[in-house]
Structure 1
């Protein structure tokens, strides 16, 4: 039975990869990525991060309400802001633990972004505990990129006293499920760990087995709709810290798309 389940999972990934690569990228996504206001460093990262394929895969569109959870410097936040437009809204969500423990310098870029007139009309910063993602309106999409392993692994600035990392990640999933409208989408992008390793390497190598993310999301009520290999790197042996010079920026990454059932 386990072999059959694994085969089905791999077949789903193959089908989704084909869809993600052949589906046309909407003009509003292309225009958002081509926006002249994006920082040069962001544009230089596009070749590796493949935002056009990822945003099209997620299905983010004009008018959507999107939460970018743990947005870093705002690489995707800027793109989402231009995609959803004046009729949509982007919520850059920071965990309370991160705001309390991270050096203030680390948070300056996202504060500057939401204050920038080019984005401030439809983009706001929200600070929330892991178990509460209420932003005042049902969300169409919740997105988190290269962060789930930090939450699951209890990495210092993400950790909450009295709660283990896996518990924090489960609380996040439950909060995402509650915040999404029926039919809403949850997208998780992260660095892949070795198959079968679970969350073993989340704290040390900053990697996580996608099967662990899938299991936690399903436990929260989500359905795995699709996955994409657009960021996959089969040359990555999954045994190296993601910051190691030989692999930094080129890790094998998984992309999972979950949906909250409509009923």
Structure 2
């Protein structure tokens, strides 16, 4: 995994198009090998088929998840990332798995997936241990405590969907910023749209316009700390809907780690 360290200002000024200088490999402290136990967690048996494409150990290394961390999975979907985080944070850590009420209203399976995931990390009496479900409006998850890290995977583009109020992206970005401890990090992975795709690409292709995303997050106060080519697939023309059979599971994606200043 190649890590690219950037400043947000340089990225925006360059129009998100210029290559940034390569930096040394990630330190051994956050190597994928560190997360072998999390990846091999028996509760992830059903996830293994996706691992080749989703690179779970590398994602945890890029996110720099530590034992004892308090982490939010923002828009948890089917729970793949939640289950991955559950072991990575260790016995002293906590994972808040957020499923927006709007998504559940659209598809009740999102509620069932959330319940099933939390159940895997509950005691014999059904009390959650380490993984806690949150259901609330998209822009107001109600995080119970300040977070060390928030991870959102393949969902940032959803903030621009037409069914949501126009100010949803700005309100959500500010909420994510406020939810983190000073020095906390936001890890974003999403499908890349063609340059200039804008909100239309989010609605029609479920892809994220890179420059639009960076502007949103830096305007909220985040500073880009690192970018990874972990999910780079240059052969993707970025013009197909991500659910089309011809490209599903093989889209070109960006991965960012952004930090809230101390």
Shorter-chain TM-score range:
0.7 to 0.9
Q: Does 1:15 align with 2:22?
A: yes
CA distance in 1, matches of 2:27, 2:169: 30
Is the 8 Å Cα contact of residues 185 and 260 (structure 2) preserved in structure 1? yes
Q: TM-score of the superposition, structure 2-length normalised?
A: 0.87
Match in the other structure for 1:88:
93
Moved more, 23-32 or 170-179: 23-32
Counterpart position of 2:112: 108
Q: CA deviation at 1:27?
A: 4.8
Query: Does residue 41 of structure 2 align to residue 35 of structure 1?
Result: yes
Distance (Å, rounded) in 2 between the aligned partners of 1:234 and 1:58: 23
Give the C-alpha shift of residue 218 in structure 1: 0.7
**SS of residue in 2 equivalent to 1:243:** coil
Corresponding residue number in structure 1 for 2:160: 152
2:160 is aligned with 1:129: no
Give the whole-Å Cα distance in 2 for the aligned partners of 1:116 and 1:199: 37
Shift of 1:84: 0.4
Separation in 1, partners of 2:11, 2:226: 19
Aligned to 1:55: 60
**Which segments of 5 or more consecutive residues in structure 2 lack a partner in the other structure?**
1-9
Partner of 1:139: 147
> Which structure 1 residue ranges, 5 or more long, are not aligned?
none
Structure-to-structure mapping, 1:64-83, within 5 angstroms = 64-83=69-88
Q: TM-score, normalised by structure 1?
A: 0.86
Q: 1:221 to 1:123 in 2, by over 3 A?
A: same
| Aligned match of 2:192 | 192
Cα displacement (A) at 1:90: 0.2
Distance 1:130 1:108, change over 3 A: closer
Count of equivalent residues = 249
Assess, with a 3 A threshold, how the Cα gap between structure 1 residues 183 and 171 changes in structure 2: closer, same or farther. same
Provide the C-alpha distance between the structure 1 equivalents of 2:254 and 2:29, rounded to a whole number of angstroms.
19
> How far apart in 1 are the matches of 2:118 and 2:11?
47
C-alpha contact (below 8 Å) 2:12/2:215 kept by paired residues: no
- CA distance 1:19–1:170, change in 2 (3 Å): farther
Give the conservation status (yes or no) of the 8 Å contact 1:81–1:90.
yes
Distance in 2 (CA, whole Å) between partners of 1:7 and 1:15 is 18
State the SS of the aligned residue for 1:202: helix
Question: Helix, strand or coil: the match of 1:124?
Answer: strand
Distance 1:92 1:24 in 2: 23
